[in-house]
Homo-oligomer: A and B are copies of this chain.
Amino acid sequence: MLLHYKKIIDKELKFFSQKLPPLPIYEPIKYIINLGGKRFRPSLTLLSTDLFCEKPLLSINEAIAIELFHNFTLIHDDIMDHAPLRRNQQSVHNKWNINNAILSGDLLYALVNKLLSTSSSQSPEIHELFQQTAIEVCEGQSLDMEFENKNDISLTDYVKMIQLKTSVLVACALKIGAIIGGADSKDANLLYNYGLNLGTAFQIHDDILDVYPNEDYFGKQVGGDIIEKKKTILLVELLKNSSSEDKKIIYQTLEDKVINGNSKVYKIKEYYKKYNILKLAVQSKDEYYEKAIDCVNQISISEDKKNLIKEFSLALMQRKF
């Protein structure tokens, strides 16, 4: 249902990319833009503007800025995570090299800022929210890196991390769209909180799907996060709830360099079962999802429009978007 907006975004991104100078340092930027993606963050900006003034194009520059900022973080995150692939293609540092990936990422962020500074709909509030969000996204990535070598992560720490790393940008995309559409600050903040909670539910669901995939996930390594010792809500809950004896074995299993990945996943899944971890994680996910829907219900827009957002929320959670 955001397809209409996605088409606008794709067209605008293509135009943006074609206008870039022919210097080699712009090549990685053109490349990552053209790798595609769901474009759901910028689509939400246009939707959010549309909700309040029915002129979605008013926020096109900010929508593009949000998508490009997201792409900048992908370039740098892929270096930090040593990820060889992005959207099933070579990541930027893999296709070029680390120096090119660092610099083209920096350049992309500068282009984003230039775009924001020349947009007709700019306001100090939008600038500040955008850059505060950028700060938070960096903080989130730093917590994620920190947590890799830390075992005593609380659920609060975990939620804080995924919210900073992922949800705040979704929330920001929605709030900026709302501000540009003329929403009052109550509604703009409700959309922010909707995005924050929905993003959190989405990320928790992502953790769940890694271990308990539905049929659409066929072909993906089940339990990849376990093999990579990633801090997911499942592992955080398991370490919180298991006996000290079991915890010891869990740590040993995660660190085990002898047994293969599938056996590791199998063993950890046995503990998830023993401590009913799936249920706990699903409960968390549902709580955040409900909080998100609660926010939607409080926004001063028509029921039809509320239903539109709710349909999108459901589609997103079911990965049908």
> Does chain B have a CB within 8 A of A63?
no
Interface string of A107-122 (1 = CB under 8 A from B): 1011101101110001
* Chain A stretch 87-123: residues in CB contact (< 8 A) with chain B: 98-100, 102-103, 105-107, 109-111, 113-114, 116-118, 122
A130 to B139, CA, bound (A): 24
Which one of A103, A117, A134 has the greatest number of beta carbons of chain B within 10 Å?
A117
> Does chain B have a CB within 8 A of A141?
yes
A24 engages B142 (CB within 8 Å): yes
Tell me which residues across on chain B come within 8 A of A135, comparing CB atoms: 107, 110-111, 114
Interface string of A141-165 (1 = CB under 8 A from B): 1110110000000000000000000
A127 engages B131 (CB within 8 Å): no
A132 to B21, CA, bound (A): 13
B145 engages A103 (CB within 8 Å): yes
A128 to B118, CA, bound (A): 6
**A residues in contact (CB < 8 Å) with B:** 21, 23-25, 76, 79-80, 98-100, 102-103, 105-107, 109-111, 113-114, 116-118, 122, 124, 127-128, 130-132, 134-135, 138-139, 141-143, 145-146
The 3 closest A-B pairs by CB, nearest first: A25-B142, A117-B127, A110-B134
